[in-house]
């Protein structure tokens, strides 16, 4: 049989049913993944008595938008703490990771390979192993119950970010840099003005992943903070359970508000986000 004959023979009978099956399967998984989030939003808008009603109804009988202002009011200080920490983490991590990434990609210095191997090796150490000594270290430094442990160690140990930016810098044509050097630019000037703007997509990818990590961090605030006023959104949510939000609808409104910022960021920066994740699976 010729190839054309095989195509004619193989395709048409399967084509339409296969497409239908595919769409049904896609929709099935869409329901599975969206269902808990949709019920969360549905419950967050219901009057209190309706949440516990059996059998449950998906569409609220009346939309109580007031649940959000009630939940949001209590969460505002913690929202601001989370925003502050996310900004510090993203800003400084991008600075240090791009400096180191450029150094490893383009500069020649003593013990470069050793330093790079050292950096990568730490990616394999489970964080819990150094948690206790870190806790003691921060106590010595007077950092317990401050925000420092939640960003300073992170921004100075950006293993993945350094790796990803190193890869990105290596992809920039060397001629660009040499032209800048001929114009008399310093090493730092070349890095800052010429090279950094070239790796914006990689910076966006690392930035998006760093934001998620900072916003969703549970262990850090749990261990290093004691004062309620310093807490972040996730911990505040845990603290509020039982204390303020004995009502499920308010609890779900608070959960929605906590999930919303990373979800919106993901929807907006999806391309960079996926790129960053994909790069994390890259060998070498």
Partner 1 sequence: MANAVLPTVSPPSVDGPSATRKRPKQKPKRQNLAGWLFVGPVIFGVLFFQLAPVAASLVVSLTNWTGLNSPKFLGLGNYKELFTADDTFWPSLKNTVIFTVVVVVLTIFIGLGLAVLCNQKIKGIGIFRTLYYSPAVTNVVAIGFVWFWLYNPDSGLFNSTLKTIGIHGPAWLSDTKTALIAVMIVALWQGVGYPMVILLAGLQSIDQSLIEAATVDGASAWRRFWSVVFPLLTPSLFFLTITQFITSFQVFGIIYVMTSGGPNNATSVFIFQIYEAAFGHGRLGYASAMGWVLFVIVGVVTAIQWRMEKRWVHYDN
Q: Is 233 in the site for partner 1 (CB under 8 A)?
A: yes
Residue 109 interacting with partner 1 (CB under 8 A): yes
Burial class (CB in 10 A: 0-12, 13-18, 19+), 162: buried
Closest approach of partner 1 to the CB of residue 244, in Å: 13
Nearer to partner 1, 66 or 171 (CB): 171
Binders of partner 1 among 190-229, rule CB under 8 A? 191, 212, 215-216, 218-219, 222-223
Residues 69-98 that bind partner 1 (CB under 8 A): 96-97
Q: Residues 3, 69, 226, 227: which binds partner 1 (CB under 8 A)?
A: 3
According to CB under 8 A, which one of 103, 151, 164, 231 is a site residue for partner 1? 103
Strand partners, 245: 241
Longest dimension (CA), the chain: 79
Question: Do 209 and 89 touch, CB atoms closer than 8 A?
Answer: no
Smallest CA-to-CA distance from 47 within 253, 282, 196, 265 is with 253
Backbone Cα Rg of the chain: 25
CB of 257 to partner 1, least distance (A): 9
Q: Is the CB of residue 113 less than 8 Å from the CB of residue 104?
A: no
d(CA 210, CA 202) in angstroms, rounded, equals: 12
The span from the CA of 40 to the CA of 122, in Å, is 38
Among 86, 278, 279, CA closest to 166: 279
Q: CB-wise, 24 or 69, nearer to partner 1?
A: 24
Residues 111-130 that bind partner 1 (CB under 8 A): 112, 115, 118-119, 122, 124-130
Q: Which residues have CB under 8 Å from 247's CB, separation 6+?
A: 48, 51
Q: Binding string to partner 1 for residues 14 to 43, with x set by CB under 8 A, is what?
A: -----x--xx-xx--xx-xxx-xx-xx--x
Q: Binding residues for partner 1, how many (CB under 8 A)?
A: 104
Please list every residue from 167 through 196 that binds partner 1, using CB under 8 A: 167, 170-174, 187-188, 191
Binding mask 249-268 for partner 1 (x = CB under 8 A): --xx-xxx-xx--xx-xxx-
Instruction: Give, as ranges, the residues between 43 and 72 that touch partner 1 (CB under 8 A).
Output: 43, 51-52, 54-56
């Amino acid at each position: 049989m010729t190839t054309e004959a095989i195509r004619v023979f193989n395709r048409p009978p399967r084509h339409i049913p296969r497409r239908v099956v595919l769409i049904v399967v896609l929709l099935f998984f869409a329901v599975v993944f969206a269902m808990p989030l949709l019920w969360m939003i549905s419950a967050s808008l219901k009057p209190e008595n309706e949440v516990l009603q059996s059998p449950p109804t998906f569409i609220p009988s009346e939309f109580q938008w007031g649940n959000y202002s009630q939940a949001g009011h209590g969460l505002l200080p913690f929202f601001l703490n989370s925003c502050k920490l996310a900004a510090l983490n993203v800003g400084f991590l991008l600075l240090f990771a791009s400096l180191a990434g450029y150094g490893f990609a383009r500069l020649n210095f003593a013990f470069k390979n050793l330093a790079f191997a050292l950096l990568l090796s730490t990616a394999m150490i489970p964080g819990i192993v150094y948690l206790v000594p870190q806790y003691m270290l921060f106590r010595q430094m007077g950092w317990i119950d401050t925000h420092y442990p939640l960003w300073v160690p992170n921004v100075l140990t950006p293993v993945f970010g350094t790796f990803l930016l190193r890869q990105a810098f290596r992809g920039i044509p060397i001629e660009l840099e040499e032209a800048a050097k001929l114009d008399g630019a310093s090493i730092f000037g070349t890095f800052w003005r010429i090279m950094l703007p070239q790796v914006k997509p990689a910076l966006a990818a690392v930035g998006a992943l760093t934001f998620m990590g900072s916003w969703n961090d549970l262990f850090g605030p749990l261990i290093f903070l004691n004062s309620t006023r310093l807490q972040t959104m996730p911990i505040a949510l845990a603290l509020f359970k039982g204390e303020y939000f004995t009502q499920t609808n308010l609890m779900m409104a608070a959960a929605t508000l906590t999930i919303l910022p990373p979800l919106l960021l993901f929807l907006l920066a999806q391309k960079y986000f996926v790129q960053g994740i994909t790069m994390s699976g890259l060998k070498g």
